[in-house]
Amino acid sequence: MTLFRDAEFRGIVMYRRDYRERDLLVQILTDKYAAKMFMVRGAKRPSFKLQTAILPFTYADYIGAINTQGLSYITSTKQTHLYAKISMDILAQAYAAYLLTLVASAFDEGKPLGQYFELIVAALDKMNDGTDAQLLANLVEIKLLNQFGVAPHLQDCVICQRHDLPMDYSEQYGGLLCQDHWPLDVHRLHAQPKTIALMQGLARIMPQQLGEVDLSVRTKKDLQRILDKIYQDQVGLQLKSKKYLDEITRMPQLTPKKVDKSPKNG
């Protein structure tokens, strides 16, 4: 068990739970060590000085002791930033929690996230500013496929490299097939052409570049269906946070603006 004392790292609080009478366990997605579990002593005392650094959906610069196995410890923080809008919106919370666990599951504990840490921070920044949470999640999902070893071919037809014909996604070929090559895969995903264009667009940009988008509910649902299928079949993930998100998004009356209270335990 290696101990990194006085390690400086950045992180986003994923969740926390009780641990003994006065202590908390806090899981943080860090830039240098992926998701780590921290034991925070005395965290439940009202006067606890690091209180703002361990709230869910908080981004902070931390200093602490990192153990490669077992629990790690936070000794101080330099600056903290709470994603206030996300933490007050049940739908945004569900998307953010899902994205954090998705990124965490793409990396072994102890491994640096590299550019993917910047990606999740940028996605949460934009989500906190009110940008479409589903599209931000889809953007991260598409980019993370590389990390999961799927690396879909999205720029043109896998077979002939044409890009001027209607396209569809083929799991068997690991990417797009043009209309001429649809007969090669009877199980192609039958995506709408607009869905494929959206998927290609999201693959090319970073969250900062995602502006106001005018998309039909149908196209957004279709994109989610395609990505869910790829994640289910080719990545094989079963995340509780995704199941919860799916339940929340299925509630027809639920929109971000109508919800003003968050549950105690997001």
Nearer to Zn ion, 64 or 175 (CB): 175
CB 134 within 8 A of CB 95: yes
Nearest residue (beta carbon) to Zn ion: 157
Instruction: Output phi, psi for 86, to 5 deg.
Output: -65, -45
Q: Least Å distance between CB 170 and Zn ion?
A: 10
Q: Least Å distance between CB 233 and Zn ion?
A: 22
- Judged by CB under 5 A, does residue 184 bind Zn ion? no
Distance CA 135, CA 180 (A): 29
Nearer to Zn ion, 109 or 180 (CB): 180
Nearer to Zn ion, 123 or 157 (CB): 157
Q: Least Å distance between CB 219 and Zn ion?
A: 23
Nearer to Zn ion, 141 or 168 (CB): 168
Q: Which residue has the tokens 């044409």?
A: 162
- Judged by CB under 5 A, does residue 254 bind Zn ion? no
x/- letters, 152..181, toward Zn ion (CB under 5 A): -----x-xx-x---------------x-xx
**Which long-range CB contacts under 8 A does 148-153 form with residues at least 24 apart?**
148/106, 148/234, 148/235, 148/237, 150/174, 150/230, 150/234, 150/235, 152/230
Nearer to Zn ion, 180 or 247 (CB): 180
Residues 210-249 that bind Zn ion (CB under 5 A): none
Cross-strand pairs, 178: 167
Q: Least Å distance between CB 214 and Zn ion?
A: 30
Q: Which helix (H) or strand (E) holds 78?
A: strand 73-82
Distance CA 62, CA 80 (A): 9
Q: Least Å distance between CB 230 and Zn ion?
A: 20
What one-character DSSP code corresponds to residue 234?
I
Residues that bind Zn ion (CB under 5 A): 157, 159-160, 162, 178, 180-181
